[in-house]
């Protein structure tokens, strides 16, 4: 990781990597959604509403994975003072919040026909909503820090502390009795039949690649912005 801490070297890799991630991810999402919405059979209980899972599960995965990324980047920033770590954490926050929101909305739309309710305050739903609020707070905190030009050590600490919610979301369905069903895919295999499963894996991978492309784009934009500001400052000084 230390090799990429140099912004110039990072940019020389990130620039060509961005379109590859974006286009391959986009193609995988398109293929998975076509298969998931039109080809795969319906579920024996839920019927057609099972297809919401092809968006809902990748969104949940990226909402949680995004904060894990923020926490790792924040730790690197606090310990090794990598110049790119705080940029990476801030770049992850916005798409992470977006996917957490998509997860909540699609889950709610699935819950109405399946459970008979849009929203219930059970362990899984509540902890996921808390994750969304954490993202909003992180975005506010880190952009306020960036505007003042102060070090973003406070948002880094917030990023690490907030990560405690990730295992809580994951284990909520095991620790507490919840309305949300337990985990379908674990180390012991999948409780989703293979005919319904493969588009889910493709769309999860596709959305992950797209997420990577968005993060790289945002990091490049932030680095460019810093460069512009530095140049403007030099020009006014002359």
**How many CA atoms within 13 Å lie on the side-chain side of 212?**
18
Q: Please list every residue from 137 through 166 that binds another protein, using CB under 8 A.
A: 160-161, 164
Closest separation in Å from C-beta 151 to another protein: 14
The b-or-e profile of 52-90 (16+ CB within 10 A means b, else e) is bbbbbbbbbbbbbbbbebbbbbbbbbbeeebebbbbbbb
Contact between 178 and another protein per CB under 8 A: yes
Closest separation in Å from C-beta 208 to another protein: 21
Closest CA to 97 of 55, 67, 69: 67
Which CB atom, from 18 or from 165, has the smaller least distance to another protein? 165
Question: What binding mask, one character per residue, do residues 90-119 give for another protein by CB under 8 A, x or -?
Answer: -----------------------xxxxx--
Q: For residue 109, what is the enclosing H or E element?
A: helix 85-115
Question: What binding mask, one character per residue, do residues 185-204 give for another protein by CB under 8 A, x or -?
Answer: ------xxx-xx--------
Closest separation in Å from C-beta 156 to another protein: 10
DSSP string, 37-91: IIISPPBTTTBGGGGGHHHHHHHHHHHHHHHHHHHHHHHHHHHH--TTHHHHHHH
Q: Please list every residue from 40 through 99 that binds another protein, using CB under 8 A.
A: 40-46, 50, 53, 75, 78-81
Which CB atom, from 196 or from 210, has the smaller least distance to another protein? 196
Closest separation in Å from C-beta 181 to another protein: 4
Alpha-carbon 209 to chain mean position: 11
Site stretch for another protein (CB under 8 A), options 28-36, 90-98, 131-139, 184-192: 184-192
Query: How far from 84 is each of 89, 108, 147, 234, CA to CA, in Å?
Result: 9, 36, 17, 22
Which positions touch another protein (CB under 8 A)? 40-46, 50, 53, 75, 78-81, 113-117, 120-123, 160-161, 164, 167-168, 175-179, 181-184, 191-193, 195-196
């Amino acid at each position: 990781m230390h090799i990429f801490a140099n912004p110039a070297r990072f940019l020389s890799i990130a620039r060509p990597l961005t379109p590859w991630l974006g286009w391959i991810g986009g193609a995988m999402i398109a293929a998975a959604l076509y298969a998931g919405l039109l080809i795969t059979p319906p579920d024996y209980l839920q019927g057609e509403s099972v297809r919401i899972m092809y968006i809902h599960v990748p969104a949940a995965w990226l909402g949680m994975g995004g904060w894990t990324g923020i926490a790792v980047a924040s730790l690197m920033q606090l310990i090794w003072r990598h110049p790119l770590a705080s940029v990476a954490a801030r770049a992850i926050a916005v798409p992470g919040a977006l996917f957490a929101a998509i997860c909540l909305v699609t889950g709610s739309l699935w819950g109405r026909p399946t459970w008979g309710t849009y929203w219930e305050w059970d362990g899984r739903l509540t902890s996921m909503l808390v994750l969304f609020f954490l993202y909003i707070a992180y975005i506010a905190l880190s952009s306020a820090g960036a505007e003042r030009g102060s070090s973003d050590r406070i948002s880094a600490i917030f990023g690490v502390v907030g990560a405690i919610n990730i295992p809580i979301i994951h284990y909520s369905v095991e620790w507490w009795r919840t309305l949300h069903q337990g985990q379908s895919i674990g180390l012991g295999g999948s409780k989703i039949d293979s005919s319904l499963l493969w588009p889910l894996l493709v769309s999860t991978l596709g959305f992950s690649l797209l997420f990577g492309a968005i993060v790289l784009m945002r990091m490049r934009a932030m680095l460019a912005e810093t460069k512009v500001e530095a140049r403007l400052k030099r020009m006014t000084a002359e």
